[in-house]
Amino acid sequence: MKLEQKPLSERITGKARGQSDFRVKGQISRIDRDREELIWANKFICNELPLFYLELAGITYSDENYLISRRGDIRNPYNNLFVIEYVTAGKGYIEAKGVRTPVCDGDVYLVDCRHSHRYYADEKDPFEKKWINVRGTFLNAMAPLIFQDNPYVVIHLGQEGGQVMEAIHDKIRAATPADSEMMLAYIMQRILDLFLLIDRERKNEVNTLSQRDRIVRYIEQNICLDLHVTDLVEYFYISSSTLYRMFTSSFGMSPKDFILYKKIEAAKRMIADNESTFNMIAAVLNFYDSHHFFRVFRKYTGMSPTEYKNSVLAVSEDEM
């Protein structure tokens, strides 16, 4: 597909000006435009999904207020934006489904925007990052292999990840309307290179993690499922007695209690976000119903979800 690239004067190139704190449908952004350099901007207006589409690309030098929050819709076939970002300095966080993951220098994170999520800068050491926003049937086909039913992927690729993103940005900067198809083909190939690096690092991580750490990671990545101890026993080929001893000696609780503890930790983050009702949180985290959620929440925190929410809001008001 050939892109009708805008002239340099019409493309959003260089550092845009002004503080932005705005909402569009399904998205909340808090960005200081003086700290963002867009090198490509081409709004998606196609009637059908192309093989590959480059929508945005740029560099962000965030401050402590930087935030992007999107509300996903997995049912909408055109809501298939994918964000690929490489952190060059500083720290930040990405959250989805009640799970928060820190990112720092050398990390690459990919976001499937069909799922609700948000990412933001660390207040003390805001991250800097290079990124692209892309769409297309090519990415839809690759998503199950890369995301593995997760809304985002975070992996440390160090200098290799930076080289891939820098090569993509260089190609975009040098592109003209006449060679836009070649540019898109090049970016697709570099994204495939990135996917291969991610697959390699995943295998390395699995080989270096202890069995206990692999089980904990599995629980955290699948916290929204109806997980049972038997699922862990079957998946990791471990006896229930060995699993029990492993968790009681490491965490002072049974595997079943640990799963519920992790669900409540995820629920606390979702409550703090103040974007979901208690019924929604109970459903997302696969509690039997809201009564079960309230009962388990009180067991692990000593207060009800309502009391916890009020305490979080009170702290927020004191800090304002």
Going by pLDDT thresholds of 50, 70 and 90, the confidence category of residue 28 is low
Can you tell me the mean pLDDT for 25-49? Answer: 76
pLDDT score recorded for residue 97: 82
Summarised one tens digit per residue, pLDDT across range 68-102 is 998 876 666 556 889 999 999 999 999 988 888 99
pLDDT score recorded for residue 4: 41
Summarised one tens digit per residue, pLDDT across range 103-121 is 999 999 999 988 889 999 9
Please tell me which residue, 124 or 35, carries the higher pLDDT value: 124
- The CATH architecture annotation of domain 211-319 reads Orthogonal Bundle (1.10)
Please tell me which residue, 316 or 157, carries the higher pLDDT value: 157
Summarised one tens digit per residue, pLDDT across range 166-191 is 999 999 999 888 888 999 999 999 99
Q: Give yes or no on whether 14-208 and 211-319 have one common fold.
A: no
Residues 149 and 151: their CA atoms lie apart, in Å, by: 7
Percent residues over pLDDT 70 in the chain: 85
pLDDT score recorded for residue 23: 44
pLDDT score recorded for residue 72: 77
Q: What is the pTM of this model?
A: 0.68
Whether 150 shows a pLDDT value over 90: the answer reads no
- Residue 303: C-alpha distances to residues 24, 241, 270, 294, 318 (Å): 36, 32, 16, 9, 21
pLDDT score recorded for residue 315: 60
Please tell me which residue, 178 or 63, carries the higher pLDDT value: 63
pLDDT score recorded for residue 129: 97
Q: Are strands 67-70 and 82-89 parallel, antiparallel or unpaired?
A: unpaired
Going by pLDDT thresholds of 50, 70 and 90, the confidence category of residue 317 is low
What b/e readout covers 258-293, taking b as 16+ CB neighbours within 10 angstroms? bbbbbbbbbbbebbbbeebebeebbebbebeebeeb
Q: State the CATH class of domain 14-208.
A: mainly beta
Domain spans, the chain: 14-208, 211-319
pLDDT score recorded for residue 84: 97
Asked if residues 121 and 90 have their Cβ atoms less than 8 Å apart, the reply is yes
**Structure tokens given for 236:** 């990791």
Instruction: Pick the range with the lowest mean pLDDT from 160-164, 186-190, 215-219, 272-276.
Output: 272-276
